[in-house]
Amino acid sequence: MAKSEIYQLKLTLKESKPPIWRRILVPADTKLSQLHLVFQVVMGWENYHLHHFVVGQTFFGEPSSEDFYEVKNEKKFTLRQIAAGEGAKFIYEYDFGDSWQHQVLVEKILPPEEGARYPHCIKGKRACPPEDVGGVWGYDDFLEAIGDPGHPEHEGMLEWVGGEFDPEAFDLEAINAALRSI
């Protein structure tokens, strides 16, 4: 059972229309490095690319000698340290090429429930875009191509994505099963 309070977070993929989002319950003492893995699972990303958290003008991630700006080590900071209370917001960015920016909002701070397992996804909408599709604008183009059998890229895009893709798909049970494995 979690010892710290539980943050109810809403993770929304910025610029996605209609919105792609997840609502999750995470212990406040979760290290940012672990929170990154939680976000990968609940969104459906495959952890192929770099990421960081942005709080105001401060960046948290995996520091590298190649960084253009100071990056604080995400293994040394918890969710509570970067988002102190309800209403706090920060950015989680994944894949600097495609620039998948997620707005993270602390909706509620709750006591842990007896017997509950955390992290836990409680709701969400829509499928995560495929990796390397080209960001939000590339995803829009992808959806247009797969939705129109007459589109010149229809067959190629379907083949690239593995045959089919349902942008409305969201499997809460599968997400929570995957969360139990991290």
- Residue boundaries of the structural domains of the chain: 6-127+168-180, 128-165
- How far is the C-alpha of 35 from the C-alpha of 174, rounded, in Å? 18
Average pLDDT, the chain: 95
What's the maximum distance between 2 C-alpha atoms anywhere in the chain? 56
Averaged over 62-76, what is the pLDDT? 87
> pLDDT-derived band of residue 68, with 50, 70 and 90 as boundaries?
confident
pLDDT over 60 (residue 2): no
The pLDDT, as a whole number, for residue 1 is 45
Which tens digit of pLDDT belongs to each residue from 19-48? 999 999 999 999 999 999 999 999 999 999
In three-state secondary structure terms, 26 is: strand
For the entire predicted model, the pTM comes to 0.94
The pLDDT, as a whole number, for residue 31 is 98
Element of type H or E holding 135: helix 135-147
> pLDDT-derived band of residue 67, with 50, 70 and 90 as boundaries?
low
Residue 40, sorted as left (phi over 0), alpha (psi -120 to 50) or beta, turns out to be: alpha
pLDDT over 50 (residue 125): yes
pLDDT over 60 (residue 163): yes
C-alpha 35: how far from chain center: 9
Residue 36's nearest CA partner among 82, 67, 2, 69 is 82
pLDDT over 90 (residue 86): yes
C-alpha 64: how far from chain center: 22
C-alpha 92: how far from chain center: 7
Residues 98 and 130 sit within 8 Å (Cβ to Cβ): no
Averaged over 108-118, what is the pLDDT? 95
Q: Of 3.20.20.80, 3.30.70.260, 3.10.290.30, 3.40.1190.20, which CATH number belongs to 6-127+168-180?
A: 3.10.290.30
Q: Percent of the chain having pLDDT more than 70?
A: 98
pLDDT over 90 (residue 65): no
